[in-house]
Amino acid sequence: MQATTVSISRATRRLVARVSLDVYAGELVGLIGPNGAGKSTLLAALAGVDQDIHGTIELDGQHLHTFSAYERALKISWVEQQGAIHWPVTVERLVMLGRIPHLPAWGRVSDQDREAVENALRVCDCNALRQRRVTTLSGGERARVLLARALVAEPELLCADEPIATLDLGHQLQTMQLLRDFARNERAAIVVLHDLSLAARYCDRLYLMHEGTMAASGEVASVLTAQNLAAVYGVSVISGCETVPWVVPVERLRR
């Protein structure tokens, strides 16, 4: 995917200003920055959910706005930040709904569809939840189920907005490894993250946003510098990479 000088406004407020980025097959790309930086707004545009933009977004060399909803669903999966689920269907049924783009017009489920659902439930650690009503799930359980629904579509590009925000420590690590494994399979993923240590450990490249603009981008080490983080987050940090990369905020520099 390639986004070029993308700007997004609501009423008179500019939320994203002339942002450009690339996401290549085989990459897990992290979109980081403080609250209100424009990360979720930009990600929704990259996923094709929000098409009211200026600039261009291309997937496989084709303008994203020229894709039909069906074509887009085959290529891109979207996991929103706080996905609301209002229907009391089972987890297994909800995940199966992610296969809709692959189903024939008469909607008959194939063995391949069932296998895809089984795999998604397994890798997202949702097997024990499969007969639960989704309306009874905790926030973390719901996040894992929504990720399973996105993965079962077998997209080229996965766009996930804070997929680990409500997860416990074990499931955070599991999910980040899952996202990296997904990308390594000749696919790509772009995720909004707030945990800079996990972003440093698992992402191939990072885009650091600040007030709707791109403050820094590139390899992890070149983005997560003390200078960049002080300028964008207003904090001093310590960081290291003895066995795995880590970033720890130490002091707030501005009030």
**Residue 16 pLDDT more than 90?**
yes
* pLDDT tens-place string over residues 43-57: 999 999 988 899 999
* pLDDT tens-place string over residues 188-203: 999 999 999 999 999 9
Work out the average pLDDT over 196-215: 97
Report percent pLDDT > 90 for the chain: 83
Tokens of residue 86, six digits:
């209002």
At residue 82, the pLDDT reads: 73
Question: Predicted confidence band at 73 (pLDDT cuts at 50, 70, 90)?
Answer: very high
Angle at 156 between CA 164 and CA 1, to 5 degrees: 90
Q: Are 226 and 249 in contact (CB under 8 A)?
A: no
Q: Is the model more confident about 106 or about 223?
A: 223
Of 112, 95, 93, whose CA–CA distance to 103 is shortest? 112
At residue 31, the pLDDT reads: 99
Q: Which residues contact 121 (CB under 8 A, 6 or more apart)?
A: 91, 92, 95, 127, 129, 130, 148
What is the rounded distance in angstroms from the CA atom of residue 166 to the CA atom of residue 144? 9
0.85 exceeded by pTM: yes
**Residue 174 pLDDT more than 90?**
yes
User: What's the CATH superfamily of 2-252?
Assistant: P-loop containing nucleotide triphosphate hydrolases (3.40.50.300)
Work out the average pLDDT over 94-109: 87
At residue 254, the pLDDT reads: 66
At residue 244, the pLDDT reads: 76
Question: How many Cβ atoms are within 10 Å of 124's Cβ, its own excluded?
Answer: 25
When computed from its CA atoms, the radius of gyration of the chain, rounded to whole angstroms, is: 18
Residue 10, H or E segment = strand 2-10
* pLDDT tens-place string over residues 107-142: 788 999 999 999 999 999 999 999 999 999 999 999
**Residue 253 pLDDT more than 90?**
no
At residue 255, the pLDDT reads: 53
Question: Predicted confidence band at 99 (pLDDT cuts at 50, 70, 90)?
Answer: very high
Mean pLDDT value across the chain: 93
